[in-house]
């Protein structure tokens, strides 16, 4: 569809791979945590029913899975990390671990033509660093429904939908890419400077940036 609409189709590789899985694991006090290392990150969140969700990243060339054991790969990567990281990986069913090369698409200025438009990843594929890909697809759907309900002129409803959604989703694509770049820094000095800079971000500024992404109302 992107080709038919004359839009760039190629994705852009972000330079890292992500694993993720659910495990039966009691995370006790930790609601949600993401830890940045050098060229690697590990995050986890407590879910209802004694489950935990975890994800991990590592800088890597694309299509670089070589081992037959995905679990052994990720366990070796994070073997020397703090508790509960190694135990969380150990508690995971090996067959349930997903692995994806992380890609996005630089934002497009338009998404459609006539009675055709795009929604979700087809319109604004983004890296997962803000946890917003599916969330933005849902927001798209809400706005698309609203615009289609407001007029019987489908083409103008689609253009109004795009006008409402392109600026917000483009900003999130860019911000998510930037966070990924910072999170995946690997050099010792670069990481030390990054960690210092992150510590200096005032709590109020951090709250405002979270609110900008998550505080959307239709
Ligand atoms: C590692 C990782 C972590 C993520 N974490 C989060 C997160 O925490 N929060 C969040 O909100 N998002 C997250 N996402 C992003 C989220 O998964 C996507 O943004 C979301 O799935 C996009 O939904 P979609 O419906 O637009 O596209 P998709 O989920 O890709 O669905 C498109 C569907 O169309 C089907 N399809 C394709 N071509 C055809 C065809 N010709 N005919 C019929 N069917 C077709 C495909 O098979 C697919 O089922 C993450 C993604 C990754 C990779």
pLDDT tens digits for 128-181?
999 999 999 999 999 999 999 999 999 999 999 999 999 999 999 999 999 999
C-beta 131 within 6 A of ligand 1: yes
Given its phi and psi angles, is residue 50 left (phi above 0), alpha (psi -120 to 50 degrees) or beta?
left
At 28, the pLDDT band (50, 70, 90 cuts) reads confident
C-beta 212 within 6 A of ligand 1: no
C-beta 18 within 6 A of ligand 1: yes
User: Which residue from 53, 128, 180, 214 has its CB within 8 A of the most atoms of ligand 1, so it is best to mutate?
Assistant: 128
Delimit the domains of the chain by residue range: 15-103, 121-214
Taking residues 53-78, report their average pLDDT: 92
Q: Can you give the three-state secondary structure of 131-180, one letter per residue? A: CCHHHHHHHHHHHHHHHHHHCCCHHHHHHHHHHHHHHHHHHHHHHHHHHH
C-beta 134 within 6 A of ligand 1: yes
Cα 138 to ligand 1 centre (Å): 11
C-beta 115 within 6 A of ligand 1: no
Query: What is the CATH code of the structural domain delimited by 15-103?
Result: 3.30.9.30
- The residue assigned the tokens 């860019």 is 174
Query: Which H or E element spans position 33?
Result: strand 32-36
């Amino acid at each position: 569809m992107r080709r038919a609409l004359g839009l760039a189709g190629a994705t852009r590789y972000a330079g890292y791979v992500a694993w993720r899985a659910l495990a039966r694991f009691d995370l006790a006090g930790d609601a949600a945590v993401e830890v940045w290392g050098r060229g690697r990150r590990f995050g986890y969140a407590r879910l209802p029913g004694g489950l935990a969700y975890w994800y991990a990243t590592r800088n890597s060339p694309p299509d670089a899975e070589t081992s037959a054991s995905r679990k052994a790969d990720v366990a070796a990567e994070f073997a020397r990390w703090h508790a509960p990281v190694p135990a969380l990986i150990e508690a995971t069913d090996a067959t349930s671990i997903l692995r994806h090369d992380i890609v996005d698409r630089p934002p497009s200025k338009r998404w459609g033509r006539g009675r055709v438009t795009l929604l979700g990843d087809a319109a604004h594929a983004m890296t997962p660093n803000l946890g917003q890909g599916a969330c933005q697809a849902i927001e798209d759907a809400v706005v698309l429904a609203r615009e289609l309900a407001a007029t019987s002129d489908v083409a103008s409803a689609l253009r109004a939908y795009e006008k409402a959604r392109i600026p917000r989703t483009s900003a999130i694509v860019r911000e998510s890419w930037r966070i990924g770049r910072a999170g995946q820094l690997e050099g010792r000095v670069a990481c030390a400077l990054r960690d210092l800079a992150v510590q200096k971000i005032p709590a109020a500024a951090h709250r405002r940036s979270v609110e900008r992404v998550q505080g959307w109302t239709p």
